[in-house]
């Protein structure tokens, strides 16, 4: 069975880094990668279409990861709320850690890192999303029909007794 398509949004400070990360993420066939130049473009897109993972950057002067995440989480116009946020940071200080926790960032990756490592982390984040639990066969809302209302009707073909193979 094919893996469902996942949308990855990339908003980083350096256009070259954004291009490299987008290219590497797009190498996974089931990922649709959407690079963004600004927070406004990202928010506008997320108001229209679902995003599974947002990759953002602490080094962006105009769109720092904590501020972008806080704005996204607070925006009631975004209908699809089930997304993960991965932030890239040059260093993780106690202040950065506190900002991440307060903003609701799911994971921080320290730069420089291999772009392949980002792919691994995105896969891990997507795997953590809870799939709906599978129902056991025979459980559910289907009930056996009550044939007593029809008089002397005996059901011949039931689950216990399959149809004959002629």
Residues facing 53 on adjacent strands: 8, 84
Residue 26's domain spans which residues? 6-128
Strands, E assignment, 24-69: 31-35, 53-57
In a domain, 12, yes or no: yes
CATH of the domain at 76: 3.40.50.2300
pTM over 0.75: no
pLDDT for the residue 130:
46
In a domain, 48, yes or no: yes
Percent of the chain exceeding pLDDT 90 equals: 40
In a domain, 44, yes or no: yes
In a domain, 11, yes or no: yes
Q: How many domains does the chain have?
A: 1
pLDDT digits (tens, 9 = 90+) for 57-85: 888 777 888 899 999 999 999 988 889 99
Element (H, E) at 88: strand 84-89
Residues facing 33 on adjacent strands: 8
Residue 61's φ and ψ, nearest 5 degrees, are: -65, -45
pLDDT digits (tens, 9 = 90+) for 81-118: 889 999 999 888 888 888 889 999 999 999 888 889 99
Mean pLDDT over the full length of the chain: 81
Confidence category of residue 144, pLDDT binned at 50, 70, 90: low
Name, in order, each residue with C-beta under 8 angstroms of 79's C-beta and a sequence gap of 6 or more.
47
Angle at the Cα of 80 (from 76 to 86), degrees rounded to 5? Answer: 95
Using CA atoms, how far apart are residues 24 and 123, in angstroms rounded to an integer? 13
């Amino acid at each position: 069975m094919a893996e469902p398509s996942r949308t990855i949004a990339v908003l980083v400070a350096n256009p070259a880094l954004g291009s490299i990360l987008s290219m590497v993420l797009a190498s996974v066939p089931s990922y649709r990668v959407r690079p963004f130049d600004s927070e406004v473009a990202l928010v506008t897109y997320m108001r229209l279409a679902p995003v599974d993972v947002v990759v953002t950057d602490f080094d962006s002067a105009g769109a720092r990861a904590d501020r972008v995440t806080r704005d996204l989480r607070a925006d009631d116009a975004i209908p699809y709320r089930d997304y993960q946020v991965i932030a890239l940071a040059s260093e993780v200080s106690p202040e950065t850690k506190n900002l991440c926790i307060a903003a609701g960032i799911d994971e921080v990756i320290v730069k420089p890192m291999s772009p392949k490592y980002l792919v691994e982390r995105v896969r891990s984040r997507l795997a953590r999303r809870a799939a709906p639990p599978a129902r056991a066969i025979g459980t559910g809302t289907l009930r056996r029909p009550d044939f007593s209302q029809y008089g002397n009707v005996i059901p011949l073909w039931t689950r216990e007794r399959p149809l004959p193979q002629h």
